[in-house]
Amino acid sequence: MGFRVSFGLSALVFIAGKAESILDHPQHIPGFVVPWSTDVAADHYHRFREDLAFAKQMKFTSHRFSISWSRVLPTGGVDNINKEGVQFYTDYINEVIKNGMEPMVTMLHFDQPYTLELATGGWDSSAMIDKYVEYADFLFKTFGDKVKYWNTLNEPNMYCSYFRILMAQSVAPDNSKFYQCLHNIILAHMKSYKLYEKNYRQTQKGKVGISVLMLPPTPKTKNEEDLVAAETFNQVYVGSLVQPIVSGDYPPLVRYLVDKRDADEGLGRHRLPAFTPEEKEILAEGVTDFIALNVYGGCTASYRHNESAIPNPALLPGPSAEDIPFADIDCSSDFGQIDESVMHNALIWIWNTYHVPIIVAENGYGDSKHAGVNDQARAAYHSANLRALVQSIREYGVKVLAYYTWSLIDVFEFSAGYDGRPFGLVHVDYQNGSLNRTLKNSAQFFIQLNETGRVPFVPAPREPDDTSAGTAFSVSLEVFFLSLLGTVGLWLFAG
């Protein structure tokens, strides 16, 4: 499974006072996927009203989007506020609300200002913590009267695995700093959460959470050893981020595994930092109102009896998996997997482990088969995942606040370019350069869902995106009435 990150919808790097971000920078270096082509991308900056009208047409009731730090504070601090950038997001939020949708804001989606990255050393350095908190304070103060749902940082476990390299002009990231990066982000989230709680919650009445990428592992067999491998992977890949903000510290199993490997390899230091007693006390109070869960596809976990055998790094979801010497984690499946067990396993594990409300912040189908607008497989994917979500709520008592699909329109992705595996419900014509938008057939699934409050059953095509199955949208299954708040995904408040 390759990594998936879209380039910011608004793009247009050097327009209206926006500075270069750490995601812009590598795209201006020869050898990138499509050098320089992302400075305009889908031109959402100029066409957001058109795009949000599509979301309204699909009857979504919420819209999740990110604010670009480098657009509002080009050098990272409040000493240099870009008024044009602030006005853009003010207009954007107003348009979201005008179209009947609740805004949910991701405050940082991997794109801090490049100059700030150079000045601080990025998230490998504790210097980023207070810089981020200052930025968070600015967003709360500027937009908090209309934004009630805040996602502080997107997928820190993914960012610290892969995207630290994007700002660097080196061949490979220093994987030994993965946990230091994660540690600093946890502290930045903690301080931002407490800041909101102290200065803004009483008047703005909003909620603050953080998102995590989950790759739910399925044990290769029912043997106890494979079950242990799967559970350990969840603890390491997800628990390293979520458990501190819910319970106050890293999972003991993670501490044991990382420290043991450090000792075995004679590093002479601990890669996994320790929280101070004061930090543990604050964290233990619980510093998140929800867990924003990003889930696409799953992995397979099996017990490795030969611990000296080195797995193929291409199949690993980052350096954290290397700290599990007894597990083979195969995440080689793509983003077109239609398997309801992935969503089911993710929700059940998160809820049973942490008992914190969940927002499914990203869930989407990457069309590597290039079906274009005739995308029944995408409808089948969302049908399977939403039916699994409903079942998790009804039968297991999981508290799911919302569901968002990735993504509203086709967007550029770092590992796939513009056409490698488009995720959008709206087709964007990149090939001819017109950037014209066309609603895909899968949009009918969400229209029916929002009109009826029921999850339509859509069968998986016999062949990928075989459009001959003409009854795709005719069956309504899992009768479950929803108070919907949908968007670039679906904001679905489930009572």
Positions marked active-site:
155, 362
- Amino acid at site 148: K
List the structure tokens of 120. Answer: 């601080």
The Cα 445–Cα 425 span in angstroms is 10
Residue with tokens 């990255």, as numbered in its chain? 117
Are 181 and 123 in contact, with CB atoms under 8 Å apart? yes
CA gap 239, 16 in Å, rounded: 40
User: Of 95, 65, 34, 2, whose CA–CA distance to 407 is shortest?
Assistant: 65
Strand order in the sheet with 207-214: 62-66, 102-106, 149-151, 207-214, 291-295, 358-362, 400-403
Rg over alpha carbons for the chain, rounded to the nearest Å, is: 21
Alpha-carbon separation of residue 97 from 175, 192, 307, 324 (angstroms): 42, 25, 54, 46
Cβ-proximal residues to 50 (8 Å cutoff; 6+ apart), any chain: 437
The rounded distance, in Å, linking the Cα atoms of 47 and 44 is: 5
Q: What Cα–Cα distance (Å) separates residue 269 from each residue in 33, 125, 127, 262, 276? A: 37, 17, 21, 7, 17
Q: What is the largest CA-CA distance in the chain?
A: 64
Closest residue by Cα to residue 442 from 409, 413, 418 = 409
Is the Cβ–Cβ distance between 230 and 301 less than 8 Å? yes
Q: Are 490 and 402 in contact (CB under 8 A)?
A: yes
The pair phi, psi for residue 309, each rounded to 5°, is: -70, 135
Of 410, 399, 339, nearest in space to 7 by CA:
410
Q: At what angle do helices 44-57 and 83-98 cross, to 10 degrees?
A: 10
Q: How far apart are CA 74 and CA 82, in angstroms?
A: 7
Nearest to 186 by CA among 113, 114, 279: 279
Q: ω into residue 407 within 30 of 0, thus cis? A: yes
Both tokens assigned to 292: 């924003």
- The alpha carbon of 205 is separated from its chain's Cα centroid by a whole number of angstroms, namely 24
Residue written as token pair 């006390």: 281
Sign of the Cα pseudo-torsion (376, 377, 381, 387, in order)? positive
